[in-house]
Amino acid sequence: MIIPWRRLPFFVFLTLGTIAFVYPLVWLVSASLKPRSQVFDNRLIPEIFQPSNYVTVWETAPVMRWLTNSLTVGFMAAVAVTLSSALVAFGFAYFRFRGRNLLFGIVLSTMMLPGAVTMIPVYLIWNKLGMIDTQIPLWAQNLFGSAFYIFLLRQFFLGIPRELFEAGRVDGCSYFGLFRRIAFPLCKPALVIVFVFEFKASWSDLMKPLIYLQTPEYFTMPRGLKQIIDAFALSGHYEWEIAVAASVIAVVPMIILFAFGQRYILDGVATTAQKG
Amino acid sequence: MATTVERPAARGQVEPARRRPPKRSPLAKREDRAGWLFVSPWVLGFLIFTAGPMIASLVLSFTDYQMIQTPRVVGLDNYRELFDDPRVLKSLSNTFVYAAMFVPLGTIFALALAMMLQRVGKAGGFFRTAFYLPEMTPAVAAAAMFLLLLNGQQGLVNKVLGWFGINGPNWTADPNWLKPSLAAVSLWTVGGTVIIYLAALNGVPKQLYEAAELDGAGPVTRFFRITVPMISGALFFTVITHTIASMQMFDQAYTMFYGPQQKATASDESLVYMVYLFQNAFQFFKMGFASAMAWLLFVIIMAITFLQVRIGNRYVYYHGER
């Protein structure tokens, strides 16, 4: 292989950058396997392996429940938002109906709306419905679609040649059939992007679980992790190795998701600012 | 809307009128109904979870509402209190300081990485993946991790700084360094922006650079006269989204500095606006006051975005469109 000397400086800088981005995660995994006194020794390979940190986390906190809760909530949130956003996006992409442009303008403008403005009344709604301390408020709003995903999917639907839909109509396909049989299958990559983005967002979110959940059994993983950190703060002695092991547990499912959806995710990110 | 695909004319036996006729044909009416039916989930959600709550939040902001009794109208009291409460002003200035650090640094850092990525061509795939990895880390886990990495005495960051003879600050324990600590965590998750910039850079026609080189333009000139204008759309998009997100930063700050341990920190230097709003709403149950805070945030974000769009429109170049 020819060594591209002119590009060498770039490789050096990029490698440094990669270390800065990836090393913290490696450090985290390594620290999670160390005894408390050595968490800060910054060795990559622990001097003393202590995988029992994970057992301790498992025994002191309902981690399995938190993981299951996060998976359930993430799955519900992602499925709900993908299906509903696709349906709405198709409505905006295919039909020319009265008020469409105005309505789509409103969709776009809601993207800028800070969540804080609706947060309190929405909490009061769920409170009235008796849904506090259940997981329903964490995902149910997604059934109505989300502006950013509607925008993204609409762009993809607009890219489908219109003749396909015309052909479908001639063959006696209903409007919903056009969506289900033509648009939906053709936009699978985009739908995967939406699913993964929303799953990640739901998995990472701290604020909603803080607002809506009280019983530790119902916590999601980030909320549970916060609980662990708070517990140390209260007791005054910091069991770093436990917090670190719990952090790893919160991160690993996302890394697995990334490993599988990598191409979709990276392409999806690249598309977000381009499709304007 | 500008990108709408024009509909081919042939559609069934009736030629649908291109220009909207004064009276709508039955076909057009059918399409009206179908279109509205498809978008109805969003319309419904908008009314229940956005428009309704916005009005409710505005009304609440003029009341004293502690959740136990019915809201009591207090007029402009909450808004007056906003400007009398030193913690509101402190949290607002903290948020601005954080945004003022993160938005420019994040943009420059991400752009530098993206430009290098572009230079290495195919080999960039590995780096691209590596840079995006931190974005997959939940903010709470990232914050917990950085609490340890930024530890003043034993943290890895200060050890590395030590190799270069830099005496690192006491990051998460020194009131002056709390906001830089928050910005550091955010910088770590800037990989998504790198990917966006890379895609934009790859869209710049090579001929432009070649032509400029023939005209004797140096690398600096090429950067400012070609690269920046050609990717200004992506730059503009990320600066706006980063600003809006920074103004609403919560997860990191709350994980690192709030909760039962906040008595230990006892410093308002890390109090960002959303954390204080959250505390007012869900810890002190001052729903009316928190609503007023939310509306102030709304107005501020709108004002900043409007300003950015005004300035941006003068410089942003969109290829293809317009």
Q: How far is A33 from chain B (nearest CA, A)?
A: 14
The dihedrals phi and psi of B72, each to the nearest 5 degrees, come to -115, 125
Q: Is B138 within 8 Å of A100 when comparing Cβ atoms?
A: no
- Residues A131 and A220 reside in one and the same domain: yes
Task: Indicate the range of A69-83, B15-29, B63-77, B125-139 predicted with least confidence.
Answer: B15-29
- Residues A129 and A36 reside in one and the same domain: no
pLDDT of residue B21: 54
- Residues A49 and A165 reside in one and the same domain: no
- CA triple A105-A107-A111, angle to 5 deg: 110
Q: Which of B55, B69, B136, B252 to mutate to test the interface with A (most CBs of A within 10 A)?
A: B136
For residue B154, how many other CB atoms are within 10 A of its CB?
14
pLDDT of residue B3: 46
- CB–CB of B292/B273 below 8 Å? no
- Residues A15 and A96 reside in one and the same domain: no
E strand map for chain B: 63-64, 72-73
Radius of gyration of chain B (CA): 25
What is the SS3 assignment for B305-318?
HHHHHHHHHHHCCC
Average predicted confidence (pLDDT) for chain B: 89
pLDDT tens digits along A48-91: 889 999 999 999 899 999 999 999 999 999 999 999 999 999 99
The fold adopted by the segment(s) B85-313 is: MetI-like fold (1.10.3720)
Q: Is the pTM of this model over 0.80?
A: yes
- CA triple B60-B63-B66, angle to 5 deg: 85
Q: How far is A70 from chain B (nearest CA, A)?
A: 12
Mean pLDDT calculated for residue range B93-101: 97
pLDDT tens digits along A186-203: 999 999 999 999 999 999
B chain contacts of residue A244, beta-carbon cutoff 8 Å:
144-145, 148
- Residues A49 and A96 reside in one and the same domain: no
- Residues A201 and A218 reside in one and the same domain: yes
Give the torsion sign (CA, B56, B62, B63, B64). positive
- CB–CB of A63/A250 below 8 Å? no
- Residues A151 and A50 reside in one and the same domain: no
- Residues A75 and A30 reside in one and the same domain: no
Q: How far is B26 from chain A (nearest CA, A)?
A: 13
Q: How many domains does chain A have?
A: 2
**Does residue A267 carry a pLDDT above 80?**
yes
Between strands B72-73 and B63-64, the pairing is: antiparallel
Q: Is B254 within 8 Å of A240 when comparing Cβ atoms?
A: no
B chain contacts of residue A95, beta-carbon cutoff 8 Å:
31-32, 34-35, 38
**Does residue B4 carry a pLDDT above 50?**
no
Domain that holds residue A68: 61-274
Q: How far is A21 from chain B (nearest CA, A)?
A: 6
Pairwise CA distance, residues A178 & A183, whole Å: 6
Residue A218: CATH number of its domain:
1.10.3720.10
Point out the residue among B50, B130, B145 whose CB comes nearest to the CB of A18.
Answer: B130
pLDDT tens digits along A220-264: 999 999 999 888 766 667 788 899 999 999 999 999 999 998 888
- Residues A123 and A41 reside in one and the same domain: no
Task: Indicate the range of A218-222, A270-274, B40-44 predicted with least confidence.
Answer: A270-274
- Residues A46 and A97 reside in one and the same domain: no
pLDDT of residue B33: 93
- Residues A226 and A117 reside in one and the same domain: yes
pLDDT tens digits along A19-35: 999 999 999 999 999 99
Pairwise CA distance, residues A259 & A263, whole Å: 9
- Residues A38 and A98 reside in one and the same domain: no
Pairwise CA distance, residues B294 & B54, whole Å: 10
